[in-house]
Amino acid sequence: MESYANKGGTSAVVAYETTDDSITVRFRDGAGYVYTHASAGRDSVERMKELARDGQGLNTFINRVVKHSYARRAD
């Protein structure tokens, strides 16, 4: 997983990993979630990848747009 830059300084996101059709997000509390094109929608997942690379806005996007649209929890 890649470390999340957390440019805003207040994000609960600490790391992420992407594939062609998914993003796995790891949070400060250790929980991880896999969001896929099938579960959250292609546009949302691709936006999450952009935000992850930018290091800002991912936690807010998850909370406002895709919160419970994950495919599964990640170990």
17-51 confidence digits (pLDDT tens): 999 999 999 999 999 999 999 999 999 999 999 99
pTM reported for the whole predicted model: 0.96
Look up tokens 């495919």; give the residue. 71
Is the distance from CB of 69 to CB of 35 less than 8 angstroms?
A: yes
Token pair 């979630």 in the structure block, residue: 33
pLDDT at position 75 is 81
Rounded Cα gap, residues 34 and 75, in angstroms: 10
Mean pLDDT in residue range 50-62? 98
Residue keyed to tokens 């935000």? 51
